[in-house]
Amino acid sequence: MSTPDPDVKGHEPVKGRPGAAVRVLVVLLVCVAGVVGWRAVAEGLAPPVEIVGYPSFAGFDFHRQFLVYRLVVWVLPLCLVLVVALLRRRFSSPSDTSGDHLDPWPTGPVGSAAPVGAREGRVTTAAQVVLSSALVALAVSTVSASPGGHVDLGGSLAAVAYAGSVVALGALVARRAAQDLPAAVATVNGLVSGLLAPVAVWLFAHGSAVEVDRAGRDHWRWLPWWCPLVVVGLLCLHLARTHRRGGSLARLGSRAATTLVVPAVLFLLVARMPGQVVRIEGFDDMQGVTGADLLGHGFFPWRDFIFIHGVFEDALRSVVGFHLFEHSLWGSQAASGVVWIPLGWIGLYALGAWSARGRAFAAVPALVLAVTAAQHLAFPDRWLGAAYVFVILGQAIRTRSPAWTVALTFGLFVEAVLVPEAVYQVVACAVALLAADVVQRTPGDSVVSGLRRTVTFGVTGAALSAVWLLYLATQHAASDFVGYYRLFGPGHAESGTLPVGPYVSTAWYLTFCATTALVVVTFAVLGRALLERRPTDEITWLLLATALFAGLYGEKAVGRFDDPHVQQSVTAALPLVFVWLAVGFGRLESRWRSGTLAGPRLTSSLPLPTLATAFLLVAVPVTASAAWDAPGRAVATASGLRTPGIGYHAAQAMAPDTLSDLGAVVRSLGGDGPVFDFSNSPGIVHFLLHTAPATRYFHVSMAIAPDAQRDLVRRLEVARPRVVVFDSDLFGLATWDGVSNQVRHYLVSDFVLSGWTPVVRSHGMLFLLRNDLVRSRPALPALAEPPETTDLDRSTCDWGLAAAYLPSAGSGTPVTLGVGRPSSVRRLVVSGWAYDPTTDAGVRTIVVRVGGTTVATLAAHEPRPRLAATIGIAGAAQAGFDADVVIPAAGDVQVVAIGASGSTPLAVADGEDDAPATRRPGSAPLGRLDSLQTSTGTLSPVEVPAGLRLSDYHLATLSSGGHAMGASTLTLVDGGPAGSAGHVIRARTLPDLRALRVRVGSCLAWRGVEADRLNLLQEGGSPVDRIVLSGVS
């Protein structure tokens, strides 16, 4: 934005004009009065809600936090601009030009800087030589690096030798060409270091390795030797061509330093070879490798498989890892560490350097910030292209060239196809482009002429869309591509919104607040500048686009406020941060060159040099530390375990016989046919077990909205896979946010449980076989871990408040069940772990005693991988347990672990962490309780007519004689205070609800509930007097 110098003195203030503090106070009061209106919005989620997620499960009204965010980000800046404008108009003289406004950047064309004096030339040249020497030191040290190594003596000597050689050669050139020494050294350094940059990257790739315990070192030379030679050859040809045409070698050297050397240094500072895989979930960590594997087997995206994060993150990025390293999860992580993440940070540096308008000093902070941020932020692979697109946007606005506009459109189109969330960037860039055309339009121009860039953008986008849809049509995937957005787009907020606060760390919460504040400030500054009709340039619109992108994408954090999603939103705000950084330091450099460094102020009270100094004092030490440790990041460490498909991994990541057992079960039940994964374990079921997905939903998390669930059911009706993986205790995401998949995907679960039968559970994974195959199923092969084949439907199906919000209508002929006389009981919820040193496994028998009488028996077999790592005993990885049982109303509760060599009473420990332990065979069990909670209630028998098969009914309607049910928790359970409850179906009511309709047919427990032992446990509310069973529509 080109503006008058803010240091030019304006007129004296008009008499009666309020001071700056009063004006700010008035602005804040007006804005606060507008923002507090959100408190008047009625709190509470209103039924019906068809999408089951945390909001309906917990009764959380997510609309309020979205409203607050939108008021702050979109309404607050508008209020600030309008109120300030009104105050200025009321209290300022017509000629008032006082400079208390923000004028953060100097004028002048991009790519040029103010004339450089002798002092500045020496400083700039010295900085460039130091940076190039650092490149040499890092590259040479990497060749002989060890894990955790630093810049070594060889690298230091090579850097000194390089610097001395460049200075000597520069002095020789200066004498022969009668040139200034700093300029000659800068030219030589830029040209030589530019040629060395690709070699330095290759040396890192050549030295990349994994040091394996007791097995030596595995070298991963992932970049071919000819790559740097090709790049160097092309650079030499360009140099020779430029020299023949009389081009400036000095300018070429300067460009080489900016575009080659700094990115190479940044690569060496942020690239990292990954260590061993410590934990395998099989869902978030393996969607990419599963998609890449499907792609390699001929599955076409959208038609044959669909994804959450887009075809790039959930497929293509891992394809590169498979080719550069190995076909494994570790190979995919390696590609991220040495290719995608460095490219993302380099793109942000490029954006900052471009925004610096050729000012070297202003570009340095972009390097420093990138290195500093990389130490704390896991850069999402999906956003590696965002910064490059913003650079193209700036070029399109600066040059007004149709070619750059076409390039922008093409870049955005590719990004949007590969990363669906890039639609936010498309909107941001389109708005900025249109605003630039409207504001910079020459009076008298026609609409088409004045909006030339916008028209070019729209026409190019339409043409690309037509070509793309035509190509998809040839692959029979056009309707699937369009349908993907129709099915997956709606319902995000309803399915996954979390409240602000409980699930995010303080550091990331404050960081998100800071980036959001920067967005608000940007809108306010730009809005005021446009309102005052001050001159604009490409930086103006680049700030607008980056702020719009950050503001729009910030809603993702608001919609799921936990650390990973907040980090992603903060990453989307980084382009805005880098542009502002370049703008601020660009202004500082201009003042430094003009000798007025102490004069300008970024705001009316804080000097810009103070901000710059504070930034450098924090960031430079971090950068120096990263540089010192950089060589050691080329070599990782790993244990001796290495499994096909996984790569290097720790012992607790995957037990030795897990995959062989699971593979044997799948082959025995389903042969080589497709498998439907309902457990959200695609990395295990499809990638590691080499099975094909039964439908394009290779994980069920894509089918949350009712329309998506119905689409999945239709596809399952056609595919009819032999085997369904229903849930998993050890892998996947069978439950998240407290909501199990059978509740979240209630339509799919009901369909699956109606057509498939549980037959075996192995390593925590429950397998269902199609009903028509159950009687003729083959015997299971011998497995390393004995499988479970009985009581497979014993489980808990917790609906929370979701059933109260979900619209469910009965169908068919109903059956009414009476509810008997209630008796007082307690509900016990207990969890913990118990390890038997004698058997080196979880305790097989854990008893719950009330008043000395055993009322329930449990077993410790649930996964606790972190426990095994904490106490240092591998056998404890499957030693967890939890239970939800009905116990008598009176009596002390005791939980006892009975091992092979003794027993141990378990208690809730004071501390949060488990202490390291030593296995001593023959000793009593080890263990503790994580929690033990009891609540009072009543237990009533449910009167089921003889011969009635409960599983034939899919909807249970509970009521209290037509009265409001009140706030209560209702549990259908086939057990009582005399023993453990095997089948549990629980739901909560809303206070004014007159009937609670629970889709019991979606619950695994309903398929095995014992009718003659069915009871109703009620905690609070009006007594339920009847239950009506029916079908559901």
pLDDT value of position 872: 78
pLDDT value of position 46: 86
Are 752 and 879 in the same domain? no
pLDDT value of position 49: 94
Are 880 and 992 in the same domain? yes
pLDDT value of position 274: 96
pLDDT at 385 > cutoff 60: yes
Are 769 and 672 in the same domain? yes
pLDDT value of position 870: 78
Average pLDDT over every residue of 335-350 = 96
Q: Which comes out higher in pLDDT, residue 826 or 239?
A: 826
Are 952 and 975 in the same domain? yes
Q: Which comes out higher in pLDDT, residue 648 or 32?
A: 648
Give, in degrees to the nearest 5, the angle at Cα 890 between 887 and 894: 65
pLDDT at 756 > cutoff 90: yes
pLDDT in tens, 303-325: 999 999 999 999 999 999 999 99
Confidence of residue 915 (pLDDT cuts 50, 70, 90): low
Confidence of residue 6 (pLDDT cuts 50, 70, 90): very low
- Partners of 1026 in the β-ladder: 818, 959
Average pLDDT over every residue of 627-632 = 90
Q: How far is CA 234 from the centre of its chain?
A: 38
pLDDT value of position 110: 39
Confidence of residue 338 (pLDDT cuts 50, 70, 90): very high
pLDDT value of position 20: 54
Any domain includes 787: yes
pLDDT value of position 24: 60
Domain end call among 226, 250, 270: 270
Give, in degrees to the nearest 5, the angle at Cα 279 between 738 and 288: 85
pLDDT at 912 > cutoff 90: no
pLDDT at 154 > cutoff 50: yes
Rounded CA separation 301/58 (Å): 35
Q: Tell me which residue range forms the domain holding 162.
A: 120-270
Confidence of residue 102 (pLDDT cuts 50, 70, 90): very low
pLDDT in tens, 138-153: 999 998 888 888 999 9
Average pLDDT over every residue of 223-247 = 84
pLDDT at 846 > cutoff 60: yes
pLDDT value of position 90: 56
Domain end call among 215, 237, 270: 270
Mean pLDDT of the chain: 87
State the amino acid at position 1 in one-letter form.
M
pLDDT at 18 > cutoff 60: no
Q: Which comes out higher in pLDDT, residue 1020 or 120?
A: 1020
Q: Strand order of the sheet with strand 853-858?
A: 853-858, 845-850, 893-899, 902-906
Domain end call among 762, 792, 822: 792
pLDDT in tens, 973-985: 987 664 455 789 9
Confidence of residue 240 (pLDDT cuts 50, 70, 90): confident
Confidence of residue 404 (pLDDT cuts 50, 70, 90): very high
pLDDT value of position 101: 40
pLDDT value of position 627: 87
User: Does residue 710 contact residue 756 with C-beta atoms inside 8 Å?
Assistant: no
Any domain includes 549: no
Rounded CA separation 258/254 (Å): 6
Name the residue with tokens 């009543």.
938
Average pLDDT over every residue of 194-212 = 94
Specify the pairing of strand 735-736 against strand 647-648.
Answer: unpaired
* Nearest partner of 431 among 309, 546, 277, judged by Cα: 546
Number of domains in the chain: 3
Are 885 and 775 in the same domain? no
pLDDT value of position 869: 73
Average pLDDT over every residue of 155-182 = 89
Average pLDDT over every residue of 898-915 = 79
Are 848 and 943 in the same domain? yes
pLDDT value of position 42: 54
User: Does residue 898 contact residue 853 with C-beta atoms inside 8 Å?
Assistant: no
Are 998 and 858 in the same domain? yes
pLDDT value of position 856: 86
pLDDT at 117 > cutoff 60: no
Q: Which comes out higher in pLDDT, residue 1000 or 185?
A: 1000
Average pLDDT over every residue of 815-840 = 92
When mean pLDDT is compared across 142-146, 249-253, 799-803, the lowest value belongs to 249-253
pLDDT at 605 > cutoff 50: no
**414 sits in which H/E element:** helix 402-418
Are 871 and 1009 in the same domain? yes
pLDDT at 105 > cutoff 50: no
Confidence of residue 28 (pLDDT cuts 50, 70, 90): low
pLDDT in tens, 33-83: 665 655 555 567 888 999 999 999 999 999 989 999 999 999 888 887 877
H runs (alpha helix) in 311-381: 317-324, 329-335, 341-355, 360-374
pLDDT value of position 655: 84
Are 866 and 929 in the same domain? yes
pLDDT value of position 11: 40
- For 609, the token pair is 């040099």
Are 854 and 916 in the same domain? yes
Kindly provide the b/e burial profile for residues 782-795, where b requires at least 16 CB atoms within 10 angstroms of the residue's own CB.
ebeeebeeeebbbb
pLDDT value of position 918: 65
* Nearest partner of 88 among 531, 520, 526, 524, judged by Cα: 531
Rounded CA separation 627/155 (Å): 12
Confidence of residue 257 (pLDDT cuts 50, 70, 90): confident
Beta carbons within 10 angstroms of residue 409's beta carbon: 25
Any domain includes 90: no
Average pLDDT over every residue of 790-812 = 94
Confidence of residue 7 (pLDDT cuts 50, 70, 90): very low
Any domain includes 688: yes
Share of the chain above pLDDT 70, in %: 87
Average pLDDT over every residue of 781-808 = 94
Beta carbons within 10 angstroms of residue 240's beta carbon: 10
| Distance (Å) of CA 157 to CA 134, 140, 160, 194, 937 | 11, 10, 5, 20, 78
- DSSP assignment of 688-724 equals ITT--BSSS-SSGGG--SHHHHHHHHHHHHHH--SEE
Any domain includes 666: yes
Any domain includes 957: yes
Any domain includes 526: no
User: Does residue 727 contact residue 678 with C-beta atoms inside 8 Å?
Assistant: yes
Are 890 and 911 in the same domain? yes
* Residue 13 neighbours by CB under 8 Å, 6+ apart: 96, 98
Any domain includes 941: yes
Rounded CA separation 111/467 (Å): 36
User: Does residue 394 contact residue 150 with C-beta atoms inside 8 Å?
Assistant: no
Are 748 and 827 in the same domain? no
pLDDT value of position 30: 63
pLDDT at 26 > cutoff 70: no
